[in-house]
Structure 1
């Protein structure tokens, strides 16, 4: 009986854990499935390379968070 309860709890918890936001790091050549960008977080550090974070929905409506490198938000071409 304990094994049955244990298996049932795993069956319930597994989809809940997967439903949480999925986080990854972008690597050159990746082709993420981005249907809609929800937010961008770009630290301001002049023209230095910073780690930005993008939260987006894929074509299945699942939320993902991806970190990637880019120039700081305060970099202006003068």
Structure 2
């Protein structure tokens, strides 16, 4: 019985970690980042103004994260 409870507890922890990676965290100035590999960055919108961008990356432990930050859109003319 104890082995089953331990297994369920461990699986619950792994599932919670997997679901947490699907939620974006907003970047704050001075935030410490552990980026080992960038997996993807959403394209910058073709508008004139500040737009949200998301970067999905792996940390040095292999954990997957999504970071949201703002970038100026590519739709402004000189």
Could you tell me the TM-score, scaled by structure 1's length? 0.72
Instruction: Compute the RMSD of aligned alpha carbons.
Output: 2.5
Tell me: CA distance 1:77–1:34, structure 2 relative to 1, closer, same or farther (3 Å): farther
Identify the residue that residue 61 of structure 2 maps to in structure 1.
60
Report the 3-state secondary structure (helix = DSSP H, G, I; strand = E; otherwise coil) of the residue aligned with 2:16: helix
Asked if the contact 2:44–2:71 (Cα under 8 Å) also holds between the matched residues in 1, the reply is no
Distance 1:59 1:77 in 2: 40
Distance 1:5 1:59 in 2: 31
Could you tell me the TM-score, scaled by structure 2's length? 0.72
Residues paired across the two proteins, number:
75
CA-to-aligned-CA distance 1:27-58 (integer Å, 9 cap, x gap): 11112111111100034133310010000011
Unaligned stretches of 5+ residues in structure 1: none
- Asked whether 1:15 is paired with 2:14, we answer yes
Segment drifting more, 60-69 vs 21-30: 21-30
Which is greater in Rg?
A: 1
Unaligned stretches of 5+ residues in structure 2: none
